[in-house]
Amino acid sequence: MSPPCWPPHIFILLIISLPLCSSQLSSSFDTCSSGPGWQFFPCLPPPTNMKEFMQIRVDPPGITCGNPPERFCTLENPYLCSDECDASSPDLSHPPQLMGDRERGGLITYWQTITWSRYPEPLLANITLSWNKSLEVVDDIIITFEYGRPTSMVLEKSMDKGATWQPYQYYADDCLEAFGMSPKQVSDLAPTNLTRVICTEKYSRWVGAKEEKNVVFEVRARFGVFAGPKLINMDALYIRMETMKGLRDFFTFSNLRLRLLRPALGGTYVQRENLLKYFYAISNIDVPARCKCNLHASKCVLRDATLQCECEHNTGGQDCQRCRGGFRSRSWRPGSFLPLPRGTANTCICAVSGNCECNGHSNRCSYIDFINVVTCVSCKHNTRGQSCQYCRLGYYRNISLPLDDDNTCVECDCDPDGSASPHCSDSGLCRCKPGATGRRCDSCLSGFTWRGGGNVCDTERLICQNGGTCLDFQRCVCPENSTGKSTPRPRSPGQAPRGRPRVQLKLKT
């Protein structure tokens, strides 16, 4: 298999500049090697801001403001309720897609919910972000709220495209009251419990909407537990990724979900006389991540609105999570960061001719798609065949050795003078010329002698002809109608002898 060529219709993800952590993570494994040896090295696709490709859904139905139109206030000016949300007006609507758009010309756009006019019924909203693809987060996830951050919320993740969910982090102004958990920060974690789900109060207390807007899932700080605060010792993180159970999975997701449980209160209790100032509004969600390709791809592409790894190492699937068709599925493993600095690709090996491999004589295969055939490429050790199971012409199988032995094919070595062909049978027997014998055709049958080529009978290299046989390797014994040293054919009187040997001939009467 050669490194991939890119069809022009494939859209390759744009690489967006990310903070230090992202570039550090991809420094050693940012691409598969091309050319000889490509199959030995793991690789990663580049990181990007995955908000460009996320699908957004909000629940429950009717939670987005504007239908019907509604007035709202702000916490900074709770009695100036002149703002309006109207889904029928482009200038006054706040649909969900504005959480993932690019702000243009400094104008902030945002999604907004209805106000808390039904208090004390909880004002709950779920925001589900979907990619239909496994991703690996590479830096801090940042959610930007307008008009105040929630008093309590949960960030959840799914690894199976939304079938099941698990908490990623809890946020509250009082973790013990909201979730029965003691508040913690990532800096409180140790290498042994880095994947622990915590509740933080850092992003929920009221400090003024204009001063603090972001709620953060701190990825860089978790990397820093292993790599140091400035992420200098990335090798330590790579080693932990391989040796610490569940660490890779902790940074893996296919979907994210925000469960908004209680809106910003402005540092006070709920003021029931003015419920129009309580709502949720999100202007931006940044998700710096890369496609998860199990270290088997250096590029991720968008096909039919679906992200897809461009798999190397004879792997296939959306996440390169299996061996390609015709390759041995039981041999699949993700690539490995170890041994440093280049890691191990764990390339899939061929599975052809009834689940047989290339018998140790090749680690490359070619898949012929239209006839669904996989064949070994560049068989070594003088082997050939779909599974490198036969010997090349001019070689035969040594049945005393296993098929995967480097010396299983032995050269025929047929004698060039005594054999009719340089090729031999499957058992190693050469096809001999008349008078020659032996496996290599390097010996003579009885009545023949071998002196550098031909059935000769004396030092003059005279060959017995016309059915004559050699006696004691010295003279020819002629049939009844011939005479002479070399027993030529009978000829007419006066006819000159043809070719060598030139000898005096006598005809019997």
Q: Are 328 and 348 in contact (CB under 8 A)?
A: yes
pLDDT tens-digit profile of 201-253?
999 988 765 678 999 999 999 999 999 988 999 889 999 999 999 999 999 99
pLDDT of residue 486: 59
Lowest mean pLDDT among 37-46, 165-174, 298-307, 352-361: 352-361
pLDDT tens-digit profile of 43-84?
999 999 999 999 999 999 999 999 999 999 988 777 788 889
**In which band, very low, low, confident or very high, does the pLDDT at 194 lie, cut at 50, 70 and 90?**
very high
Question: Burial, 361: exposed, middle or buried (Cβ in 10 Å; 0-12, 13-18, 19+)?
Answer: buried
pLDDT tens-digit profile of 351-377?
654 447 788 888 777 766 666 677 888
DSSP 34: P
pLDDT of residue 504: 32
Q: Is the pLDDT of residue 170 over 90?
A: yes
User: Across-strand partners of 200?
Assistant: 171
pLDDT of residue 80: 80
Residues 6+ apart with CB under 8 A from 331: 323, 348, 349, 351
Task: Of 237, 242, 235, 216, give the one whose Cα is nearest residue 225.
Answer: 237
Q: Map tokens 């949720």 to a residue.
A: 280
Distance of CA 407 to CAs 201, 360, 392, Å? 69, 11, 13
| Structure tokens that stand for 96 in this block | 């969900």
pLDDT of residue 311: 92
Measured CA angle at 300 (ends 298, 304), to 5 deg: 155
Three-class SS string for 296-319? ECCCEEEECCEEEECCCCCEECCC
Residue percentage of the chain with pLDDT more than 70: 79
Task: Of 292, 274, 347, give the one whose Cα is nearest residue 314.
Answer: 347
Domains defined for the chain, CATH in brackets: 48-291 (2.60.120.260), 365-411 (no CATH), 419-476 (no CATH)
pLDDT tens-digit profile of 118-167?
999 999 999 999 999 999 999 999 999 999 999 999 999 999 999 999 99
Which segments of 30-102 does DSSP mark as H helices, in order?
Answer: none
pLDDT of residue 363: 73
pLDDT of residue 3: 32
d(CA 280, CA 262): 9
Residues 6+ apart with CB under 8 A from 504: 484
Q: Are 356 and 385 in contact (CB under 8 A)?
A: no
pLDDT tens-digit profile of 412-440?
999 988 899 999 999 999 999 888 889 99
pLDDT of residue 429: 94
On whether the pTM is more than 0.75, the answer is no
Task: Of 470, 506, 469, 468, give the one whose Cα is nearest residue 490.
Answer: 506
Mean model confidence pLDDT for the chain: 82
pLDDT of residue 153: 98
| Structure tokens that stand for 258 in this block | 């925000």
Q: Is the pLDDT of residue 330 over 90?
A: no
Lowest mean pLDDT among 192-201, 312-321, 356-365: 356-365
Question: Burial, 498: exposed, middle or buried (Cβ in 10 Å; 0-12, 13-18, 19+)?
Answer: exposed
Task: Of 32, 7, 14, 12, give the one whose Cα is nearest residue 315.
Answer: 32
Q: Which region holds residue 144: left if phi is over 0, alpha if psi is between -120 and 50, else beta?
A: beta
pLDDT of residue 476: 77
Q: Is the pLDDT of residue 490 over 80?
A: no
- Residue range 171-189: mean pLDDT, rounded: 96
Q: Map tokens 């808390």 to a residue.
A: 116
- Residue range 275-298: mean pLDDT, rounded: 96
Q: Are 465 and 487 in contact (CB under 8 A)?
A: yes
Question: Burial, 135: exposed, middle or buried (Cβ in 10 Å; 0-12, 13-18, 19+)?
Answer: buried
Task: Of 438, 413, 444, 412, give the one whose Cα is nearest residue 425.
Answer: 412
Q: Determine phi and psi for 51, rounding to 5 degrees.
A: -65, -20
Task: Of 182, 117, 116, 108, give the one whose Cα is nearest residue 150.
Answer: 116
Q: Is the pLDDT of residue 505 over 50?
A: no
Residue percentage of the chain with pLDDT more than 90: 56
Q: Is the pLDDT of residue 309 over 80?
A: yes
Residues 6+ apart with CB under 8 A from 338: 238, 239, 242, 344
d(CA 306, CA 55): 11
**Cα-based torsion angle of the residue sequence 77, 81, 84, 85 in order, rounded to the nearest 10 degrees:** 70
pLDDT of residue 326: 65
- Residue range 498-507: mean pLDDT, rounded: 34
Distance of CA 166 to CAs 173, 221, 256, 434, Å? 21, 21, 10, 83
Query: Which one is predicted more confidently, 374 or 268?
Result: 268
**Cα-based torsion angle of the residue sequence 88, 92, 95, 97 in order, rounded to the nearest 10 degrees:** 120
Task: Of 381, 374, 390, 329, give the one whose Cα is nearest residue 360.
Answer: 381
Q: Three-class SS of residue 168?
A: strand
**In which band, very low, low, confident or very high, does the pLDDT at 10 lie, cut at 50, 70 and 90?**
very low
Query: Which one is predicted more confidently, 463 or 84?
Result: 84
- Residue range 257-262: mean pLDDT, rounded: 98
Q: Are 73 and 117 in contact (CB under 8 A)?
A: no
E-strand stretches of 221-294: 252-262, 281-286, 288-291
- Residue range 325-341: mean pLDDT, rounded: 79
Lowest mean pLDDT among 120-129, 189-198, 444-453: 444-453
pLDDT of residue 487: 53
**In which band, very low, low, confident or very high, does the pLDDT at 289 lie, cut at 50, 70 and 90?**
very high
Q: Are 292 and 134 in contact (CB under 8 A)?
A: yes
